[in-house]
Amino acid sequence: MSSNSENAQGGIRISFEFFPPKSEEAEQQLWNTVADLTEWDPEFVSVTYGAGGSTKAPTLSAVRKMIHETPFTTASHLTCVGATREDTHRVIDEFLAAGVRRFVALRGDPPGGVGSAYQPHPGGYANAAELVAALRERGDFDISVSAYPEKHPESRDTAADIDMLKRKADNGADRALTQFFFDNDAFERYHDRVRAAGIKIPIVPGIMPIQNLTQLKRFAGACGTNIPSWLDERFEGTDDHAEERARVAAEVAAEQIEDLVRRGIHEFHLYTMNRSPLVSAVLERLGIQRKAEARAGAAA
Is residue 156 included in any domain, yes or no?
yes
The confidence score (pLDDT) of residue 1 equals 54
Is residue 77 included in any domain, yes or no?
yes
Sign of CA dihedral 217, 219, 220, 224: positive
What does the alpha-carbon distance between residue 62 and residue 106 come to, in Å, rounded to a whole number? 19
The confidence score (pLDDT) of residue 223 equals 81
The confidence score (pLDDT) of residue 80 equals 87
Is residue 89 included in any domain, yes or no?
yes
Q: Tell me 51's DSSP state.
A: G
What does the alpha-carbon distance between residue 167 and residue 170 come to, in Å, rounded to a whole number? 5
Is residue 5 included in any domain, yes or no?
no
Q: Which of 17, 130, 150, 267 is catalytic?
A: 17
Is residue 294 included in any domain, yes or no?
yes
The confidence score (pLDDT) of residue 6 equals 39
Is residue 151 included in any domain, yes or no?
yes
Q: Which residues contact 130 (CB under 8 A, 6 or more apart)?
A: 80, 171
For 75-90, give the DSSP string: EEEEE-TT--HHHHHH
Domain of 76 in residue numbering reads as 13-299
Is residue 295 included in any domain, yes or no?
yes
Q: Which residues contact 54 (CB under 8 A, 6 or more apart)?
A: none
The confidence score (pLDDT) of residue 295 equals 60
The Cβ-side half-sphere exposure at 234, using a 13 Å CA radius, reads: 19
The confidence score (pLDDT) of residue 9 equals 55
pTM of the model: 0.91
The confidence score (pLDDT) of residue 118 equals 58
Element (H or E) spanning 179, and its range?
strand 175-180
Our count of domains for the chain comes to 1
Q: What residue spans of the chain are helical by DSSP H?
A: 24-37, 56-69, 85-97, 128-138, 158-170, 184-196, 213-223, 229-235, 242-262, 277-285, 291-299
The confidence score (pLDDT) of residue 294 equals 62
Of 152, 199, 215, give the one whose Cα is nearest residue 179. Answer: 152
The confidence score (pLDDT) of residue 2 equals 41
In the chain, what is the straight-line distance between the N-terminal and C-terminal CA atoms, in Å?
A: 36
Distances (CA, A) of 103 to 2, 59, 68, 174: 25, 12, 17, 10
The confidence score (pLDDT) of residue 81 equals 83
Look up the CATH number of the domain holding residue 84. 3.20.20.220
Q: Quick check: is 24 catalytic?
A: no
Per-residue pLDDT of the chain (300 residues; tens, 9 = 90+): 543 333 445 689 999 999 999 999 999 999 999 999 999 999 999 999 876 556 789 999 999 999 999 999 999 999 988 889 999 999 999 999 999 999 999 987 655 555 555 566 678 898 999 999 999 999 999 999 999 999 887 878 899 999 999 999 999 999 999 999 999 999 999 999 999 999 999 999 999 999 999 999 988 877 889 999 999 999 999 988 999 999 999 999 999 999 999 999 999 999 999 999 999 999 999 999 998 766 655 555
Residue 40 · residue 13 · CB < 8 Å: no
The confidence score (pLDDT) of residue 246 equals 96
